[in-house]
Homo-oligomer: A and B are copies of this chain.
Amino acid sequence: MAPIATSDVSSHFQTTQGSGDLIPLGEYIFRRISQVGTKSIFGVPGDFNLNFLEHIYSVKGLNWIGCCNELNAGYAADGYAKLSLGKLMGVVVTTFGVGELSAINAISGSFAEYAPVLHIVGTSSMGQKQGPKNFHHLVTNKKLFAAPNHYVYENMVDDICIAKESIKELDQACEQVDRVLEAVYAKSRPGYLYLPSNYADMMVSLERLTKTPLRLALSPAANPQQVSDLAEQILGRMYDAERPAVLADILVSKFRSNETFNKLVEKLSTNVRLFSTTMSKGVVDESLPNWFGTYCGVQSCEGVARFMEECDFVLHAGIFDVETNNGSYTFNLNKVQVVELHPEYIAIGDQIYEGENMMQHVLEAMCKKLDVSQMQANTLPEPLLRKASSTTSKSLNQAYLVDALEAYLQPNDILVVETCSFLFAIADFKFKHNMTFVSQMFYGSIGYALPATLGCSLALRDMNQETSRRVVLIQGDGSAQMTIQELATYVRQDIKPTMFLLNNDGYSVERIIYGPNSSYNDIAPNWKWCEFFKVFGDINGDVAFTTKVSQKDDLDQLLNEKKFRSGLQLQLVELMLDRMDVPWRFELICGKQTSK
């Protein structure tokens, strides 16, 4: 909008530009981001962030990924961070008020689900902040005649971010930038950096960039002796157990403990039963012979719950204790000795030991100390996993989709799943080696997955894995309507996910819960899903392959086509499904079916 934002830049601009020792603050910020490893920056420009954005071109390796709107940009940044398992920070840049509030729901989701996302907001200049004038994008003060509060939006986010830095003095700015970056990285949750528009071009010390490296490394244990004791105590209990289990949970990957954790799992005797939780698919290698399934309390497949609940010891690593991950609070492990590893505490029975990075430190110690020979020798039962669906109809249904897609998925695939009814089937999948699962199962904001897939694909590109790993998106029609325009950025950025669009004519999740035939559960009808890429930039129709499938046979054939399987092109498959057809687990949760 009106360009007042940049009006007091020039007066503050210091003429030292070009001097070897100084760089503009905007460039400093981008260089720091680059040091974290991030290469793609998502967002939308606005007059309060333009002069900041300009500095992106000074930093080699950084790419601006303009999105269609800010919510989508926030979701994309979240997907970027999640796919990299917290290694690449997601960064989203928006403008004062209108932009930052448009993205707030994405940030809240990143907070709920531990995605390290930095939200940089270009705000009004310090000159504007000090005056009484009412500027565009800024709500007026409720109090008559009072000056507007330029911090009104900054005040909203305290409970949905882990760190917040609002730049007010140039000589504090670099420290603030570093602090929020370090906090976001360490806590794997979003942080806010508020940058008044007059600051982006002001000069700061270059030296700090090289002389004061960001502290991204894990801080050493505060109490190494305690860590060592805990590791021994936990191992001791595991050695004693007759039927030990490891429940791999999602905070393992949120806090970059995957590697250590999986090293431990590999070393363990193969008579330890391995389980995933609903949200932690892919954290532990489910292709291992001792993987026993996805444990989700009463929502588990029958055999899975039985084999879990008869164990006498469970190492629950990376516990994330929320409704959508604990079978709506139905874990039945009262009779089992459970040890919980959480990034910030270890719980052994009733004893709780708090500490920063406790999970990682204890996992490392356990790795070192593990002596497999001390474990009980026991032969494992045969895991009881899901049986293939047995419906006879020729037309597609969700049960059949589980079979077909499970078979279609390959090692190293990225699987992104929207919060649609099919999400409740993912617990039934057996993941192949090194698959990564991205969803927003706990926060559950629909529309997330489509832009998040953009972020995932670009993170892969930035990690040089673009050609070696496929990105597969499973998407509901109602959810897709929320954020459909970001398909244009798929084309623009030349990414190549394969998208399965489940067309079941509305919000089936809601239909099952309430009002199956009520109009509020209908969506805008008659969308031509297969034509969207053409209107969104694929003008000649040669970028994307799209097709519509309603029969099982046709799906089988498609999924076996070599070109389709290769995932080397952008593709969309519209799958025709019945309105009231949902996974058994979702019916169970809604009280419409009994356990399987």
A contact set with B: CB distance below 8 Å: 1-4, 6, 45-47, 50-51, 53-54, 56-57, 64, 66, 68-69, 71, 97-98, 101-102, 104-105, 108-109, 111-112, 133-140, 142, 144, 149, 152, 155-157, 159-160, 162, 321-324, 328-329, 344-345, 354, 419, 442-447, 481-485, 488-489, 491-492, 507, 509-510, 512-515, 518-528, 531-532, 534-539, 589-591
| A447-B514 contact, Cβ under 8 Å, with A112-B140, A322-B140, A481-B488 | no
A590 to B4 alpha-carbon distance, docked (Å): 8
19 interchain pairs, CB-CB under 8 A: A6-B514, A46-B510, A47-B513, A50-B520, A54-B518, A68-B481, A71-B102, A97-B445, A98-B109, A98-B443, A101-B108, A134-B323, A136-B322, A139-B159, A152-B160, A492-B524, A525-B537, A531-B535, A532-B535
CB–CB A64/B519 < 8 A: yes
Shortest Cβ distance from A424 into B: residue: B2
Chain B residues in 8 Å Cβ range of A57 = 518
Chain B residues in 8 Å Cβ range of A2 = 323-324, 328, 589
Taken together, the copies of this chain in the complex come to 2
| A524-B134 contact, Cβ under 8 Å, with A98-B445, A518-B53 | no
New contact pairs (7) apart from A3-B514, A137-B444, CB-CB < 8 Å: A45-B520, A47-B514, A51-B514, A53-B515, A68-B484, A144-B344, A535-B535
Smallest CB-CB A-B distances: 3 pairs = A488-B524, A101-B105, A98-B445
Chain B residues in 8 Å Cβ range of A446 = 98
CB–CB A445/B159 < 8 A: no
A215 to B590 alpha-carbon distance, docked (Å): 42
Chain B residues in 8 Å Cβ range of A531 = 531, 534-535
A104 to B99 alpha-carbon distance, docked (Å): 11
Question: What distance in Å separates the Cβ of A402 from its nearest Cβ neighbour in chain B?
Answer: 19
CB–CB B136/A324 < 8 A: yes
| A102-B520 contact, Cβ under 8 Å, with A321-B134, A528-B539, A534-B531 | no
| Selected contact of A484 from candidates B1, B162, B485, B489, CB within 8 Å | B485
| Selected contact of A445 from candidates B64, B102, B535, CB within 8 Å | B102
A544 to B524 alpha-carbon distance, docked (Å): 16
CB–CB A526/B513 < 8 A: no
Shortest Cβ distance from A322 into B: residue: B134
A51 to B447 alpha-carbon distance, docked (Å): 23
CB–CB B419/A1 < 8 A: yes
